[in-house]
Amino acid sequence: MVKRVPLSKKTRFEVLKRDSFKCQYCGECAPTVLLHVDHIKPVVEGGTNDVINLITSCEGCNLGKGARELSDDTAIIKSRTQLEALQERREQLEMMMEWQTGLVDLQKESTRQVCDFWTAQSGLELTPTGIDGFAKLIKKYGVAEVIEGINISQKYLVRGPDGEYTRESGAASLDKLGGILHLRSQAGGADLAPLYRLRNFAVSKFPYDSWAPITLFNLMCSLTKFGWLESELEEYIELCGSWEELIDQFKLWVKTAKNAAASKKAS
């Protein structure tokens, strides 16, 4: 007589989960019926406890089947297909995890290289907070843009009596970096030097107003993305008589350009 080896709880759970907790003979589901894990090829006929030989059966179908093998191979084919699909999902999950791990490693390496570039340019070591800040900027703007931003921010570095850049100026340079990258993104990566010049021109032309230069600069960045030329912006600054007049007109042009772009995209 063939000795029946009890199924482990783990094996029973894997089979029930694979079969969606549904009897594969009649389609009844738990908890409406009590489910068993049944041997497709009976143990008395040499059937094993391999998952491929196990199937979910309700109590009625299992007791009714007894030690008789199924009259065709429909159930075993279905079981094998489900098992193969489960294995494929597991393999795909493993590949996704490997891909995600690779992305994390790549981001860490990118951050390390950018931090090394900053240190080489400034001669200053970064704190863990500074390194974390670079990681966030790289994620938002990309490595190439952060490198360009570092080059621009170098103008804020100041040398001390020993000829080395001071840590205070290094902190100031880092503080400016996020704003530089934001403004460059607003301008679509364009060279911002001409826009800084136009902003300074407006500051020298009109009475000082704390909010106006920043607003003007952002508006000029937007207009640059829509194809406006530096000469066109400068011409209008020369014609205007106040901050309010200048900014109101630039806002109108930005709104018009955005509406035109949206209409073009819709069509």
Secondary structure (3-state) at 122? helix
Neighbours of 181 (CB within 10 A): 21
Domain count, the chain: 3
> 107 and 180, same structural domain?
yes
State the residue for tokens 């080395």: 164
> 267 and 213, same structural domain?
yes
Tens-place pLDDT, residues 141-164 = 888 889 988 988 888 899 999 999
Q: How far apart are CA 230 and CA 35, in angstroms?
A: 77
35 pLDDT exceeds 90?
A: no
> 205 and 238, same structural domain?
yes
Q: Note the pLDDT of residue 74.
A: 61
> 242 and 172, same structural domain?
no
Phi, psi of 22 (to 5 degrees): -135, 135
Secondary structure (3-state) at 11? helix
Tens-place pLDDT, residues 163-214 = 999 999 999 889 989 888 887 776 665 667 788 889 889 999 998 777 888 8
pLDDT, mean of residues 129-136? 92
Q: How far apart are CA 254 and CA 248, in angstroms?
A: 10
Tens-place pLDDT, residues 77-92 = 666 676 676 676 666 6
Does residue 1 form part of some domain?
A: no
Does residue 87 form part of some domain?
A: no
Does residue 162 form part of some domain?
A: yes
Whether the CB-CB separation of 25 and 75 falls below 8 Å is answered with yes
Q: Note the pLDDT of residue 68.
A: 47
Threshold 0.85, pTM exceeds: no
> 219 and 248, same structural domain?
yes
Tens-place pLDDT, residues 215-236 = 888 888 888 888 888 889 999 9
Whether the CB-CB separation of 75 and 57 falls below 8 Å is answered with no
Domain boundary among 146, 168, 186: 186
- Structural tokens at position 64: 């009714």
Residue ranges making up the domain that contains 257: 190-267
Whether the CB-CB separation of 94 and 87 falls below 8 Å is answered with no
